[in-house]
Amino acid sequence: MEDTAGKNTIFGDLAQVEKTLSEDTTGDKARSMVAYFDDVAKSTEQMLQKAASDAERQLLARLVEGFRASQRIIRHVWETLHSAALPA
């Protein structure tokens, strides 16, 4: 059984991110999002160092990968929308 409500929420959220990034001509919001994902990735990496079980380590490693991917996606979407490199 498909989760239509879940898919609608995900697509709605992605559309909102795209709208936000398209209106973000200075890159301030994009840099803020990238910084947020950097912070949570670093926090998760610290938790990974203290993980007791293999299952915990695997889950935390996947979270870190997801946060790093989110950074790349935000940067790529902003740069594609604005045809420019995201300013530092």
Q: What is the pLDDT of residues 8-38, one digit of tens each?
A: 888 888 899 999 999 999 999 999 999 999 9
pLDDT 10s digits, 26-77: 999 999 999 999 999 999 999 999 999 999 999 999 999 999 999 999 999 9
Spatial CB neighbours of 86, under 8 Å, sequence gap ≥ 6: 27, 30, 31, 34, 75, 78, 79
Cα 6 from chain centroid (whole Å)? 18
Q: What is the DSSP letter of 1?
A: -
* pLDDT reading at 82 higher than 90: yes
| Residue 58 main-chain phi, psi, to 5 deg | -65, -45
